[in-house]
Structure 1
Amino acid sequence: MPDKKAVVIGAGIAGIAAAIRLAVKGYNVDVFEANSYPGGKLSEMVIEGYRFDAGPSLFTMPQYVDELFELAGKNPRDYFNYQKLEVVCKYFYPDGTRLCAYDHTERFAREITNATGEPTSTIINYLANSADIYNITNHVFLEQSLHQLKTYLQWGTFKSMLKLPQIDALRSMHNANRKFFKDKRLIQFFDRYATYNGSNPYQAPATLNVIPHLEHHYGAWFPDGGMFSITSSLVQLAKDLGVTFTFNKRVDEIVLINNQAKGVRVNGQDIPSDVVVSNMDVWFTYKKLLSKHVNLHPTGTLEQQRSSSALIFYWGIKRTFSELDLHNIFFSSDNGAEFEHVWKQGTVYHDPTVYINISSKYKSDDAPEGCENWFVMINVPSNDGQDWEQIIKEARANIQSKLSKILGVDISKLIACENILNPISIESKTSSYKGSIYGTSSNSKLAAFLRHSNKSNKVNGLYFCGGSVHPGGGIPLCLLSAKITSELVA
């Protein structure tokens, strides 16, 4: 009897992970990718001697990557290595306050107390509350399908349901934080975690206060070869398992017969398959690949509010800055106004929070000697027809002015080269509808349940993985989506 065949649409991190898991299950797996490279958002670029990780730059929960190698019977260290960060991130406030988020919880809490006067016990209690939310939600909301009855018939789910009031889903993240802390700088600090899944802390449920636990308990890490080495190592593992990657091949259609996925059509050729897994944004999966089957479209899901997007400047900087680290945050002077502009006005505040990632701090050959590679990002709304050329022009000037003031040097004169990624180019490069990085937003109390499922309930043999479906965006959740999807495959 021949082995079963699986086709994965898209070589994003979830698509690669799904291919690995299906190969381990005994499937012959073909991955079709429209771009000439793997990784989707987790890719890289080189500009005039500066190497940049193009997308995600924070690495947490490395055990989810290791798990794929172990599942395949391989030693992860033969493929992929990483180191834990002693300093998770450095923070800069407009009033001159500077915070260093150390990996050690008590040291981190003391740092905050010394800078803000907030009691150390308050910080530790807050992180303990974050851990409680994680322990209640992780095995139910993140590691299993929320769209299968069997999930709710398990004893572990029942126990979690009894504790649901403790996950604080009925008030906003911001309201929870302002009740916890007196200092506005700390409220702004912890509100920022809503942006980790493209949401608004003034609307998203306080359940998202689980996110600090992932960073401050499990820690932040740096892959030895940069973030793209996550992609390249998993591609190598997949190839070692017999997975075939075909690049520069855009899937045109998912072939259905009697509501059964029978394969895909690529350049007019039908590729038969027993299972089809789409790592493409669900909006484009339906609108492009299932355009002939409008009756199968989940209209309500496709009309949900999209997550925020990003405007990224990749700058080669002609000097080094000892006061900066791998991860750096420069806060806005007005937290409320910043989110109001993104979520209500569909534009960018003149003083946005700026994130800078400098991988050359840990991987020196990412920049020429005496230089640094700056990945400079601000949160922006998803594309809705804004004048992005004008927004980019104004944002560049405002960011350079802000950084120059805080760092005491004219940044504009240090930029040796530049590349830009905006919502329009994010959509074109990664098929993320409107350039939204995380699919739909989490600005709803029921957001976890409203995300698209990992298995079609209308088409047999059709599955979904990636940031636009359950459990959400970001590397850890994308890897979990691949796990959930593969477990749903019969």
Structure 2
Amino acid sequence: MTRSHASNTAPRIAVIGAGIAGMAAAIRLRLQGNHVEVFEAGATAGGKLGELVLGEYRFGIGPSLLTMPEYIDELFALAGEMPSEHFRYQRLDTVCRYAWEDGTRLDARADPQAFAHEVEQVLGVPAQRVLKTLAHGEEKYRLTGHTFLEKSLHSSDTWLTPEVGHALTRLHRLDLTRTLHQVHQRDLKEPHLVQLFDRFATYNGSNPYRAPGLLSMIAHFEHGAGAFVPEGGMPAIGRALFDLAERVGVIFHFNTAVAEILTHRDGRRPRAVGLRLQDEREVLLDRVVSNMDVFFTHQRLLPDAPAPTRVLAREKSTSALIFYWGVDRSFPELDVHNIFFSDDYAGEFEALEAGTLCDDPTIYVSISSRYDPSAAPEGGENWFVMINAPFATPEQDWPTLIERTRERVIDKLERMLGSEGSPAGLREAIVEECVFDPTTIEARTLSHLGALYGTSSNDRMAAFMRHPNYSRHIDGLYFCGGSVHPGGGLPLCLLSARIMTDVMARREPWPTHAPSSHNALSSQKDDA
């Protein structure tokens, strides 16, 4: 059994998992003066923001769009560093290029005025109607976002604030009794535009025909706060945070899987006191933070402890079927982010809820080599091709589904690209390929059933039913990441780390010794 060599007054904290939330949590905790060690089963940091290399082509394996980069910048600022010296990004003028089977094409500009003008020119929807819809989404975010996304919903302190009181007086503006689709039909009316806005439900793996209208705030993230691309692609985020964590003195243990969270009962409730590793070593610590999917944390690491069965049994979010294609030619018809819509969007979500894929799925194509030329050889492109998929179940035959869907996806893309007046030739252009299905995603990222965003947001109470950022049964045990509050997606994962750190400080006001500068911490790297 080992014990860290930190000072007697500095709490020793373990973080399980070096995903984005785990690294953000480790940075925050270390900057408070704690001794922090991260235990990662894999060989590298980054989690879902990892990298896949196929020949001369490089791909980010997970999220492909950066929003709310200020949550990343905040970590560098907390460490006393200039964010732009370590992590740079640029704002996209065009967020996404949308295409429909009837030949309609629309470039969604990031600037709200430009977007509204484009919609008016292409779809005939008055620009003021679009701007009013975006403003309503921003209002919802302003009324609820700072409470529901940036604070613990499982703490009474959250509910005793003027912000909550103000939001309660504006409940009629939040569309809690309507679905997202109903809100968009009411406000936008035009079918193409309704479908475009309905798509925002997929940002947290939900169904627009069931998710609450409150989620119309998501449009504000792209057409208000903005959409961005990092230098070096999305995996650069993970590399930047890992480097920052090491600079401030966080200790990383790679290829070191955790087998069990050790607990000890000394009074009314048990307390997390350390970890047992897969090689049977035990490490004694004062607190434990799990960035591992909360389902697997309870199932694998706490087999004898009570589990929140109702929370863990809630409906999962959707997953994805992803084709990583190295393409040996350029397709000038495409932008960085592209959407090719299904002709039957409602039918697509009906199929997903039935646990399968429809015959005409909506296709998302992201080409990061457009802004990071090093990700593909000259003249080629790296295509990240994703369709929404159901979470994994035993009844699914993924080899058959993949084979059938691959052909339909290529046929659809060639048909719709060909309608632009140039030869498609996609099938022959694919020279490298890798495929992730929900079972692959579960195996590689330990996301339960391959669900990308933990539990779904398909009902009004979803936000309140997510797993809290602390254990109700075990003292000294905390959680961060996409499977707990406030949810999945890069910005929310980063917020989960902030919320968890704040909750820990309130629940356990252990004296901390914040350094005068992060450089002072860098010289205190201990070996466990």
**TM-score scaled to structure 1, two decimals?**
0.98
Give the deviation of 1:162 after TM superposition.
2.2
Instruction: Work out whether residues 314 and 376 of structure 1, in 8 Å CA contact, stay in contact via their aligned partners in 2.
Output: yes
Instruction: Work out whether residues 292 and 446 of structure 2, in 8 Å CA contact, stay in contact via their aligned partners in 1.
Output: yes
Give the deviation of 1:314 after TM superposition.
0.3
Matching residue of 1:25: 32
Matched, 1:470 2:481: no
Instruction: Work out whether residues 350 and 398 of structure 1, in 8 Å CA contact, stay in contact via their aligned partners in 2.
Output: yes
Matching residue of 1:278: 290
Instruction: Work out whether residues 35 and 429 of structure 1, in 8 Å CA contact, stay in contact via their aligned partners in 2.
Output: no
Report the 3-state secondary structure (helix = DSSP H, G, I; strand = E; otherwise coil) of the residue aligned with 1:200.
coil
Matches within 5 A, 1:44-123: 44-123=51-130
Matching residue of 1:151: 158
- 1:319-362: CA deviation from partner (whole Å, max 9, x where unpaired): 1111211111010111111111001x210011100001100000
Report the 3-state secondary structure (helix = DSSP H, G, I; strand = E; otherwise coil) of the residue aligned with 1:348.
coil
Report the 3-state secondary structure (helix = DSSP H, G, I; strand = E; otherwise coil) of the residue aligned with 2:49.
coil
Matched, 1:203 2:210: yes
Instruction: Work out whether residues 59 and 375 of structure 2, in 8 Å CA contact, stay in contact via their aligned partners in 1.
Output: yes
Matched, 1:264 2:279: no
Equivalent residue in structure 2 for 1:452, among 463, 467, 470: 467
Output the CA distance in 1 between the equivalents of 2:163 and 2:414. Answer: 52
For these two proteins, the number of residue pairs brought into alignment is: 487
Instruction: Work out whether residues 50 and 366 of structure 1, in 8 Å CA contact, stay in contact via their aligned partners in 2.
Output: yes
Report the 3-state secondary structure (helix = DSSP H, G, I; strand = E; otherwise coil) of the residue aligned with 1:31.
strand
Instruction: Work out whether residues 133 and 188 of structure 2, in 8 Å CA contact, stay in contact via their aligned partners in 1.
Output: no
Give the deviation of 1:455 after TM superposition.
1.0
Instruction: Work out whether residues 350 and 395 of structure 1, in 8 Å CA contact, stay in contact via their aligned partners in 2.
Output: yes
Matching residue of 1:439: 454
Report the 3-state secondary structure (helix = DSSP H, G, I; strand = E; otherwise coil) of the residue aligned with 1:489.
helix
Matching residue of 1:287: 299
- 1:117-158: CA deviation from partner (whole Å, max 9, x where unpaired): 111111000000000100011111011000001111122222
Output the CA distance in 2 between the equivalents of 1:243 and 1:260. Answer: 23
Give the deviation of 1:160 after TM superposition.
2.0
Paired residue type of 2:297: T
Report the 3-state secondary structure (helix = DSSP H, G, I; strand = E; otherwise coil) of the residue aligned with 1:305.
coil
Matching residue of 1:372: 381
Output the CA distance in 2 between the equivalents of 1:376 and 1:252. Answer: 35
Output the CA distance in 1 between the equivalents of 2:151 and 2:199. Answer: 27
Paired residue type of 2:500: T
Output the CA distance in 1 between the equivalents of 2:112 and 2:94. Answer: 11
Output the CA distance in 2 between the equivalents of 1:234 and 1:480. Answer: 15
Give the deviation of 1:24 after TM superposition.
0.6
Paired residue type of 2:404: E
- 1:443-474: CA deviation from partner (whole Å, max 9, x where unpaired): 11100000000011211110000000000010
**TM-score scaled to structure 2, two decimals?**
0.91
Output the CA distance in 2 between the equivalents of 1:400 and 1:241. Answer: 47
Output the CA distance in 2 between the equivalents of 1:36 and 1:379. Answer: 29
Matched, 1:244 2:251: yes
Report the 3-state secondary structure (helix = DSSP H, G, I; strand = E; otherwise coil) of the residue aligned with 1:101.
strand
Instruction: Work out whether residues 143 and 163 of structure 2, in 8 Å CA contact, stay in contact via their aligned partners in 1.
Output: no
Report the 3-state secondary structure (helix = DSSP H, G, I; strand = E; otherwise coil) of the residue aligned with 2:66.
coil
Equivalent residue in structure 1 for 2:334, among 321, 324, 333: 324
Instruction: Work out whether residues 181 and 208 of structure 2, in 8 Å CA contact, stay in contact via their aligned partners in 1.
Output: yes
Matches within 5 A, 1:412-427: 412-427=427-442
Give the deviation of 1:164 after TM superposition.
2.5
Matching residue of 2:15: 8
Instruction: Work out whether residues 60 and 476 of structure 1, in 8 Å CA contact, stay in contact via their aligned partners in 2.
Output: yes
Matching residue of 1:301: 311
Output the CA distance in 1 between the equivalents of 2:437 and 2:414. Answer: 23
Instruction: Work out whether residues 311 and 421 of structure 1, in 8 Å CA contact, stay in contact via their aligned partners in 2.
Output: yes
Output the CA distance in 2 between the equivalents of 1:276 and 1:161. Answer: 36
Report the 3-state secondary structure (helix = DSSP H, G, I; strand = E; otherwise coil) of the residue aligned with 1:332.
coil
Output the CA distance in 1 between the equivalents of 2:371 and 2:142. Answer: 32
Instruction: Work out whether residues 58 and 375 of structure 2, in 8 Å CA contact, stay in contact via their aligned partners in 1.
Output: yes
Paired residue type of 1:50: Y
Structure 2 residue runs without a partner (length 5+)? 1-7, 419-423, 506-528
Output the CA distance in 2 between the equivalents of 1:182 and 1:429. Answer: 41
Name which one, 1 or 2, has greater alpha-carbon Rg: 2
Instruction: Work out whether residues 140 and 160 of structure 1, in 8 Å CA contact, stay in contact via their aligned partners in 2.
Output: no
Give the deviation of 1:488 after TM superposition.
1.1
Equivalent residue in structure 1 for 2:393, among 384, 389, 402: 384
Instruction: Work out whether residues 260 and 302 of structure 2, in 8 Å CA contact, stay in contact via their aligned partners in 1.
Output: yes
Q: Does 12-21 or 101-110 show the bigger shift?
A: 101-110
Paired residue type of 2:338: N
Report the 3-state secondary structure (helix = DSSP H, G, I; strand = E; otherwise coil) of the residue aligned with 1:256.
strand
Matched, 1:336 2:351: no
Give the deviation of 1:411 after TM superposition.
1.3
Paired residue type of 1:349: C
Paired residue type of 1:473: G
Report the 3-state secondary structure (helix = DSSP H, G, I; strand = E; otherwise coil) of the residue aligned with 2:97.
strand
Matched, 1:394 2:401: no
Instruction: Work out whether residues 206 and 456 of structure 2, in 8 Å CA contact, stay in contact via their aligned partners in 1.
Output: yes
- 1:194-217: CA deviation from partner (whole Å, max 9, x where unpaired): 000000011110111010001110
Matched, 1:220 2:231: no
Equivalent residue in structure 2 for 1:165, among 156, 168, 172: 172
RMSD: 0.9
Matching residue of 1:314: 324
Report the 3-state secondary structure (helix = DSSP H, G, I; strand = E; otherwise coil) of the residue aligned with 2:98.
strand
Equivalent residue in structure 2 for 1:177, among 175, 184, 190: 184
Give the deviation of 1:181 after TM superposition.
1.9
